[in-house]
A = this chain, B = another copy of it.
Amino acid sequence: MHQDKFEKVAGNGLINRRYLLGLGLSGVGIAAASSVLGADSALKIEIPTWSKVPGPGASAYGRRSTHTEHMQRLARPPDPFYPGGGASLSPLQHLQGTITPNSLHFERHHAGVPNISPAEHKLVINGLVRQPLVFDYEDLLKYPMVSKIHFLECSGNSGSLLRGGNADGTAQSLHGLVSCAEWTGIPLSTLLDEAGVLPKARWVAAVGADAASMGRSVPLNKALDDVLVALYQNGEPVRPEQGYPMRLFCPGWEGNISVKWLTHLKLTNEPAQFRDETSKYTDTQPDRSSYQFTFRMGTKSLITSPSGQMALNRQGFYKVTGIAWSGSGSIRRVEVSADGGRSWADALIESNQFEKALTRFSIPWEWNGGDAVLQSRATDDQGNVQPTRDAVIADQGAINFYHNPCIQSWGINSAGEVSNVYI
């Protein structure tokens, strides 16, 4: 394994991100993979069945490999007292890069997924405007749009960690309420310009066409900044579970405020005090008071592999990889620790570092067969540093479970089992 080649950059086996891994077996006398190029070589390989017979041809709508069908969202079981309510979590431990395929984007519904006919759907803008307006779907398609890659994260993501428990959690079950896509839509400012916002207006109350009439109040300054009425997701029309035919999209803010199935925007002077900004999605403090309108998601990262319920089957080299994101800007740096935070090394950034988008990182690691605790820590371009779990609890207690950006610790025991640990 040429151990001397590897420059150790932090405790317990973290290796310089620029390294030669050397996992290819010697090919001398073993194999030439294709008969086409094999003639001039002494190497020989058995030609696999799939190389001998033509496969099926092109199709109208593609499917993934049967070998990848275990990559599924984790849908919480239906609750008879909450029809259509619930969530499904992205299989973060199986994904790579930064984009989440639409079929695996996390969901959160308050009354299930309405089956909306776009021809009958309307978007109304009224309230404190010079000219109330009603838009058809087809008319909205004629507006100039913006395409941006952004993460979306439920404010309840990772929330259970603050209360303890969940030793058997996976990256998906503990943190899978975050995904990332290219969102294409009309800047809300364009539509508000046309309606003519009156000087008294301070908020935009947004309501969806689902049976919950899910509503949230958006401060006007955010609405005029980077909020979209999103019509497309990764190039295709927004999926029903993401708000087809249209949703609000508020970059960097808690997912709930990006109201799906958007049908009504009302300009107001005060927040509308919807159910989902009073009884829910408020941050309860140790003294039982609650912070309302904590919109911005934190600066955060997560190691997706190795992660909970995985097993390391032998000592040696592993790729530690994960995602980082910030509601405040772009990711500047990700550090990784293998000794529970005693020492840290800079990870390699594998992807673009877009503003308010998932960013992919990795670092090589040599597991020596002993105990280890893997952690990652993100820093964004505003200088925000991801906090420890202790720091989050010290700051806001453990009653609240919204807006938890804390560092995840994955413990590895001498059997190679990976599990969520609290240190």
Q: Which of B33, B122, B132, B236 meets A68, CB within 8 Å? A: B236
Contact (Cβ within 8 A) B352 A27 = no
- Contact between B36 and A213 (Cβ–Cβ < 8 Å)? yes
Q: Which of A269-290 contact B (CB under 8 A)?
A: 272, 274
How many angstroms from the CA of A149 to the CA of B63 in the assembled complex? 21
Question: What is the bound-complex CA distance between A251 and B57, given in angstroms?
Answer: 25
Q: Is A263 an interface residue (CB 8 A)?
A: yes
Q: A27-B126, A71-B236 are in contact. Are A350 and B211 (CB under 8 A)?
A: no
Judged by a CB distance under 8 angstroms, whether A169 is at the interface is: no
For A244, list chain B residues within 8 Å (CB): 65, 67-68
Given known contacts A57-B84, A145-B350, A25 and B134 CB-to-CB distance under 8 angstroms: yes
Tell me which residues across on chain B come within 8 A of A54, comparing CB atoms: 83-85, 111-112, 210-212
Stretch of A73-81, A291-299, A371-379, A407-415 on the interface side: A73-81
Question: Which residues in window 140-160 of A have CB below 8 A to B?
Answer: 140-149
Q: Does A86 contact B (CB under 8 A)?
A: yes
Chain A, interface size category, equals 35 or more
The answer to whether A131 has its CB under 8 Å from any CB of chain B is yes
The answer to the question of A303 belonging to the interface, with a C-beta cut-off of 8 Å to chain B, is: no
Residues B98 and A235 in contact, CB atoms below 8 Å apart: yes
The stretch that binds B, out of A37-45, A324-332, A388-396, is A37-45
Of residues 47 through 85 on chain A, the ones whose CB sits less than 8 Å from some CB of chain B are 48, 50-68, 71-76, 78, 83-85
* A6-14, A99-107, A336-344: which lies at the interface: A99-107
A363 to chain B, nearest CB (A): 9
Cβ 8 A contact of A144, one of B98, B109, B182, B350: B350
**Sample of 8 A–B contacts (CB below 8 Å):** A27-B133, A34-B215, A50-B209, A51-B211, A60-B73, A71-B237, A97-B184, A144-B364
